[in-house]
Structures are given as C-alpha cells and as structure tokens.
Structure 1
Amino acid sequence: MEQQGEEKMKKKVMVAIDESELSHYALEWTLENLGNTIHNSELLVFTAQPTTIDFAPELVAAIQENYKKVALVLLDKAKDICANHGIVAETVTEVGDPKKAICEAVEKFKIELLVLGSHGRGTVQRAFLGSVSNYCVHNAGCTVLVVRKPI
C-alpha cells in the first residue's frame, strides 16, 4: 500500500532533446541541479523526428529511416548521461513538428515539468525561424523550464 502512495506522489518530468549541444546541456543541467527532484520523479527523455516533405516514396522512406537512426542515437546518448547520474530514464520519440509533438507528449504522458534547452536566438532569428521553447512556454499544459547555456 505504501509503495502505491509513493508512485502517486512521483512527479513526471520530461526533458526534450534534439541533436544540438544545447539540449544535451539542458539534460545535464537538469540532472545536476534538480538531482533530488529527478531521483524522486519519473524522467522521460523525448525527441521528435521531423516530418518529411512529399517526395518520391523511396526517398521519403530513406529520410524517415535516417531520422529514426538519429533519434535512437540521441536517446541512447541521453540514457547514458542519465545512467551516469544514477537515473533510469524512459525514452520516447514521436514524428512531427517538434514544438507540437512536445506539447502533445506533455498531455499524453501527463508531464508536470518540461525542460528544454534554449538556442539563444535573437529576436530576428526567432521571428523567422520560430522558437520551440517559446511555443512550449505558451502552449504546454505544464510548468516549463528553459535552460540557457552560459556564454
């Protein structure tokens, strides 16, 4: 009975990563600075595989297979980082626009804290390229922590 109560008390934390050094910095920062919280939480490491543009079916299949391989390498690296901190993390990858996939995963997995890395783009770059972290801050159904690497 006591174990059931502990399971209910565990928070669900998700760290979203991509191939950038900054997202791995955010994962490391989370493990080092939120260690006690993470040790008492369920940690989910998430990555999104971008959707492909309509090309010949063979090309689309090859691109998707490559995205899948990249995602598996990213998640394996993240699992190793977590293991080095004594944390066993669940990993998930979804296909879709990263910012929307992250917000959908927050809802699907009932995440209570979302951690993202910041690419440190300026106002002009964000206007043209968009910002995953900005989108998630305004649209994710949970608390969002954006980790920025010091300059």
Structure 2
Amino acid sequence: MYSKILVAVDGSETSGKALLKAIELAEGWKAEVNAVYAIDPGIYGTSVVDPSVGVMDPTSERIYKMLNEEGRKVIDKCHEISDSAGFEVNYQIKIGDARDIITELAEEMKADLIVIGSTGKGITKRLLLGSVSSYVVTHSKISTLIVRG
C-alpha cells in the first residue's frame, strides 16, 4: 500500500479530479497527501504583456508576483476540494518546470505514488511544451497514476 502521495495540481478540471482521486486513495490507505503547483515563468518565452504595465521581462519580480498570485488561486480552489472531502492536504507552490518539480519533489519526499491529470490547462500549451504527465510517467522512478478527464 501507499503511505505518501504527491498530486500535481494546475487549476484544470483534470487536476481537480486527480486531487479527488488522491484523497480517495489516501483515505483507504490512511496515507498522507501532498499537492504541488509549479510556477514556470519560462513558458512565457522572452516577454510577457501585462495590460497595466506593458511588456515585461519574464524574470522580473512582477512576473513572479503575478504567477504566484495565480498559484494561490489554484491552491485556494484545491483547498475547497479537500475541505469539502474532509481531508487534510499539504499544499506547496514551487518555481520551475513542472516536469522536474514533480519528479524531483516526489523523490525528495519519498512519495510512494504520484497522481497527475492526463491533460493540464490547455491543449495548446501541452502541444508546445510536451505533456507533463507523459514526462513524469517516463522519467519518474515512482509509480504514477494518470487520471483521465
């Protein structure tokens, strides 16, 4: 059985289903659930346009603030899901490529299982960046459950 589960969340409907599946499994196994949201400023290329200030460098503090705010909204949404399920989940926001963050964090925390949605925020982003779930399945040494939308 599993005692420590890492679930990747990104605010998509599929990641919400992945969180619910992780909670369902954890309840049966009396396991701990940890969720991670990855902030990847690199996906924005060389610049970002913010209507309030115009074009910004992707490494600027303002970009990190904007992305962190987005992450907080995702985590708040996930808290609603775990609270309504009556299950305590530990949430983290990390900066970097989601693929690396998920695989490295799972190893660091000695997770027994990674739970991830089959698709994330959008098909266009998935086509441009490659599938995070495919990368995790291929590169992680830890068992991975893919939750379909």
Q: TM-score, normalised by structure 1?
A: 0.77
Residue 35 of structure 1 corresponds to which residue in structure 2? 27
More helix by share: 1
Which 5+ residue runs of structure 2 have no aligned equivalent? 48-55
Is 1:138 aligned to 2:138, yes or no? yes
- Residue 45 of structure 1: SS of its match in structure 2? strand
Distance in 1 (CA, whole Å) between partners of 2:127 and 2:83 is 37
State the number of aligned residues. Answer: 135
| Conserved 8 A contact 2:41-2:63 | no
Distance in 2 (CA, whole Å) between partners of 1:36 and 1:114 is 16
Is 1:74 aligned to 2:74, yes or no? yes
- Residue 141 of structure 1: SS of its match in structure 2? coil
Residue 84 of structure 2 corresponds to which residue in structure 1? 84
| Conserved 8 A contact 2:117-2:146 | yes
Opposite residue 14 of structure 1, the aligned amino acid is L
1:1-150 alignment runs, 5 A limit: 11-32=3-24, 35-37=27-29, 40-52=30-42, 53=45, 60-119=60-119, 129-149=129-149
Aligned-pair CA distance for 1:127: 6.5
| Conserved 8 A contact 1:106-1:141 | no
- Residue 92 of structure 1: SS of its match in structure 2? strand
Aligned-pair CA distance for 1:75: 1.3
- Residue 141 of structure 2: SS of its match in structure 1? coil
Which 5+ residue runs of structure 1 have no aligned equivalent? 1-8
Distance in 2 (CA, whole Å) between partners of 1:88 and 1:67 is 25
Aligned-pair CA distance for 1:69: 0.8
Residues 103 and 85 (structure 1), Cα distance of their counterparts in 2 relative to 1, 3 Å cut:
same
Superposed CA offset, 1:14-60 (max 9, x none): 110102121112212333465312xx111101110003455666972
The sequence identity of aligned pairs, in percent, is 30
- Residue 115 of structure 1: SS of its match in structure 2? strand
- Residue 48 of structure 1: SS of its match in structure 2? strand
| Conserved 8 A contact 1:17-1:46 | yes
Structure showing greater radius of gyration is 1
Q: Aligned-pair RMSD on alpha carbons?
A: 2.6
Q: TM-score, normalised by structure 2?
A: 0.78
Distance in 2 (CA, whole Å) between partners of 1:97 and 1:85 is 29
Distance in 1 (CA, whole Å) between partners of 2:67 and 2:35 is 17
